[in-house]
Amino acid sequence: MGRYKTVGYGSCEVAKFSPTKARWTSNTKVINIKISFDEALKLNLALDECVRKLNKYKRSSTAGKKSGVNLALHASKNRITVLEAKL
């Protein structure tokens, strides 16, 4: 079986988490992620590029119906990466 290569569309840097990462537990229900305006523009562009790619799929096909977006939060690196997902 071939290896699956993940293609990223971009990423942005997280300025602040609330609550702080040190206070995250299995009971934490909501994590607020704050990013600067410039980083928000990067995130917007990455999402837009990924959605444009998804829009090329025939949505009536199985592959088109199972396509989506994966937002990967790299908490240790304070980054969010936009990737294509198969649901």
Domain boundaries, the chain: 8-86
Tens-digit pLDDT profile for residues 29-51 = 999 999 999 999 999 999 999 99
Which pLDDT score, from 0 to 100, does residue 63 have? 83
Stated pTM of the model: 0.83
Tokens of 10: 């971009």
Residue pair 54/46 in contact by the 8 Å Cβ criterion: no
Q: Return the minimum-mean-pLDDT range out of 20-24, 27-31, 37-41, 60-64.
A: 60-64
Q: What φ, ψ does residue 72 adopt, rounded to 5°?
A: -95, 120
